[in-house]
Amino acid sequence: MNLVDTHAHLDLLEGDVAEALERARAVGVTGVIAIGIDLKSSRRAVELAHTFPQVHAVVGMHPHDALDLDDAALHELRRLAGDPRVVGIGETGLDFYRNLSPRADQERAFRSLVELARELALPVVVHDREAHADTMRILGEYTPFDGGLVMHCFSGDLDMAHAVMDMGGYVSIAGPVTFHNARRLQDIVRKLPLERMLIETDSPFLSPHPYRGKPNSPERLLLVAEKVAELKGVAVEDLLLPNPFFADE
């Protein structure tokens, strides 16, 4: 298998990154996208992408830290995005669950990073928690997303999933799809076309069953892949998923 973990916070993993990547490779996870959530983690993601050939980086500013996205920070993210190992902008978006940055600043930062992604023709990786309507409203201002749009850890409904696809986007499925009470998400996976679906771990968060509540790691992407394959009625070895981060390859 050649599975790609399209969203992992490698800088936040417990233990050695090299060992985690080797465990992932041993179960067929041959690629990992290291995600930035602020300037420090974005720089680290680029560093890891130059250290490990199976890693590529996405650089951005999480909505929790939207207040920190001033002109200097945006300039630095643009500089980092010019690195050949960087394949996307994010994560960015809206988080109205924790509201760690004021909503107006979240929207401002979100728009700035969507515009940067469009300027550079890179996919934008979107965080959306308890903010579906506002997230889709802002994305609607920039559609279509020729460079790619990834809805990280999708938590919306089927109509929202179709709206994302209509924008040229992809729906990314994480560990919660394996939870026994995730019937709505599982039904969405059954109904979505595989060509618009990605899988991720969000390591070290959102460990799949039976590791729920424990630190996550990229090798557990296999459990997500197995559940998606089961829901789609195919063998996991035959699970063919797109990768918008390498659309030109």
Q: What is the pLDDT of residues 141-157, one digit of tens each?
A: 999 998 899 999 999 99
Closest listed residue to residue 24, CA positions, set 242, 238, 200, 214: 200
Q: How many domains does the chain have?
A: 1
**pLDDT score of 247:** 64
Q: What is the mean pLDDT of the chain?
A: 96
**Residue 68 burial by Cβ neighbours in a 10 Å radius (0-12, 13-18, 19+):** middle
What CATH number should be reported for the domain holding residue 162?
3.20.20.140
Domain that holds residue 229: 3-246
- pLDDT tens track for 33-53: 999 999 999 999 999 999 999
**pLDDT score of 48:** 98
Separation of alpha carbons 152 and 131, rounded Å = 13
- pLDDT tens track for 5-38: 999 999 999 999 999 999 999 999 999 999 999 9
pTM for the model stands at: 0.96
